[in-house]
Structure 1
């Protein structure tokens, strides 16, 4: 095989953009050969946009049976990611899913088990892993230059959304349609990057407001505190109700502090480690000598195209995946733990009680004042950032 034939399930807002990227040749050695969507107007759009060379299906059964592609890209609402990925992998297709991996880790575990047994290339659209800023921070941390992790603080509130945004899609901002709010729609990338760079915490305590700034039933304001095995701590603050918002990541280690903000990475590097200075310094007041270093980053940020190129290269050439699909469970574990902590007003250990989370989620779906059936919304447009 010298070219990967790709079929896309879900050609709403995000799916149509991915389809156009493939048609435009932005992903070498890949071509769009089929699309699937339950809405006929979207299939008509595909016909007008791509012609007869791209096959169109309005149900997944005939789509998977067609063998019109080698790999499947799933771009649907959150609940359907594990279900469709399992169908795709079992049908023998390489598979890529949009973020998040799902809504609850119980389903994602099943998906991962199938993926591991399938021997197919399974990836997730964690396109922020291609950002040179976060790649450099991860490199610095893994090299030991920052020393042992002491604290991380991420304020990510530049997600402002007006009420009209939530009113634009029937599945948005409901427990049955989306499974959550800012954590499930806007923050999967940050939750993934947080654990990708700093590791998974051992426990979580989260405080949330549900519909604080909008007429919605899910969270639109979150403050979370986490603790790591080595005693380090972390804080995540996120919201879709603040303007102007902030995107600032600050990671402190034994040998200094790194700040990512406004597209720059700044390393406040200590000449000697804080622990060493604390042990040896004999004066009454003092602090380690600190150098402010603007760290250059190399390369462009290909984002979605970068993940698509990497996925197809992994299929054709065995290239290592930037974002393996089975790693999607980590960020989702964080958001599940945060929700469970807020719902139970208590600390939640990681790994969390997946059955208790599922039970509490089902309670919220059953008691929802906005009745929308997630299955009826299958193949609807996936979330935007």
Structure 2
């Protein structure tokens, strides 16, 4: 296959952005041929701005049956990602979903199973994986340069959101509309990178989520989580939308030193002698290994981001290359956020893999009590359509 025909589901902020760069021809071998959104004003925009070669659909089933495309890019509300992806796989289509993979791992696991059964190329829009900074961190850890990872610490609090932001849509920051708060809306990239860069597998977690602590909302807006990994390492994740100025600092400590990413820079405090070796041989009482502060060179910019992931997906379909962000891996970061909520709701430790049925039941309780009248996961919900 020399080129790939692409359809987009959802013409909100993200879907519109994807449509624009596809029509500009930014994706080599990728051609936008159809879009779907139930809102007539968005379809009218598509007719005027995307050209006569892009067909428009208001009905999702008609769209998927059309045969106008080889794969779909799903840019709809969180709950609908697994449902729409499963439908697309059923029609023999390749799929690229926006983040997050879904709201709860039970549905995402079903999506992953459908992807495997279809044999189609399945990707997720984890565009931060194209960022040279995080690619370099992953390389330094996987190559053994940092040694065995002992501790991770990510403070990501520069997500400031005012009350007016939350008031701008009745679906925002509700269990029925978005399925969560800062963890599901702002943090999916960091939760993915936390595991992708370090290669660590979580064993158990204890978390403390605060709901509506800083704003008049029903979901979490302040979170502190502690995780223990299978190799004995530990980690902390702190996030909120209620602090200004915020911080974005990712620190990873290994037995050969420490790497810190902050303010667009990467610093490696590298031990000349690994800590275990120093500890086994040093006899001077007070003292510590010689340490070199190294500014790690990283290519400028933040990678190709959304176009990079889309191009990667198209290449995988047309050339058979390996995906940078396989859709099946979307469950990993989501399980971390699900575990944080479940730990808070049960006031207890949560083991990995989490109890998916228990999380689902707890989530349904909150959806029934949600202040929004929208039905979670329903693609036909009017003012949620195509948003992100």
**Short-chain TM bin:** over 0.9
Q: For 1:112-131, list aligned pairs within 5 A.
A: 112-131=112-131
The 1-side partners of 2:283 and 2:17 are apart by 61
Q: Which residue of 2 aligns with 1:209?
A: 210
Runs of 4+ in 1 over 3 A off after TM superposition: none
Does the CA contact (< 8 Å) of 1:78 and 1:382 recur in 2?
no
Greater Cα offset, 167-176 or 42-51: 167-176
CA distance in 2, matches of 1:371, 1:221: 25
In the other structure, the counterpart of 1:165 is: 165
Per the alignment, in what secondary structure is the counterpart of residue 152 of structure 2? strand
Secondary structure of 1:339's counterpart equals helix
Report the counterpart of residue 307 of structure 1 in structure 2: 309
Matches within 5 A, 1:250-329: 250-298=251-299, 300=301, 301-329=303-331
- State the TM-score, normalized to the length of structure 2: 0.96
Q: Is the 8 A contact 2:9 2:386 kept in 1?
A: no
Q: What's the offset of the Cα at 1:299?
A: 6.6
The partner residue of 1:381 within 369, 383, 386 is 386
Aligned ranges 1:180-191 → 2 under 5 Å = 180-191=180-191
Q: Distance in 2 between matches of 1:340 and 1:98?
A: 24
Does the CA-based 8 Å contact 1:173-1:180 persist in structure 2? yes
Q: Is 2:372 the counterpart of 1:370?
A: yes
Q: Decide whether aligned partners of structure 1 residues 382 and 195 sit closer, same or farther in structure 2, where only a CA change above 3 A counts.
A: farther
- What secondary structure does 1:287 align onto? coil
CA RMSD of aligned residues (A): 1.2
Matches within 5 A, 1:1-385: 1-198=1-198, 199-298=200-299, 300=301, 301-374=303-376, 375=378, 376-377=380-381, 380-383=385-388
Name which of structure 1's ranges 205-214 and 75-84 shifts more when overlaid on structure 2: 205-214
1:171/1:377 contact within 8 Å kept: no
Unaligned runs of 5+ in 2: none
Contact 1:310 1:321 in 2 (8 A): yes
Is 2:37–2:386's contact at 8 Å kept on the other side of the alignment?
no
Gaps of 5+ in 1: none
Contact 1:204 1:337 (8 Å CA) reproduced:
yes
Please list the CA deviations of residues 301-331 of structure 1 after superposition, one character each: whole Å capped at 9, or x if unmatched.
Answer: 1011100000001110011100000111101
Note the C-alpha offset of 1:133: 0.7
Q: Secondary structure at the match of 2:202?
A: coil
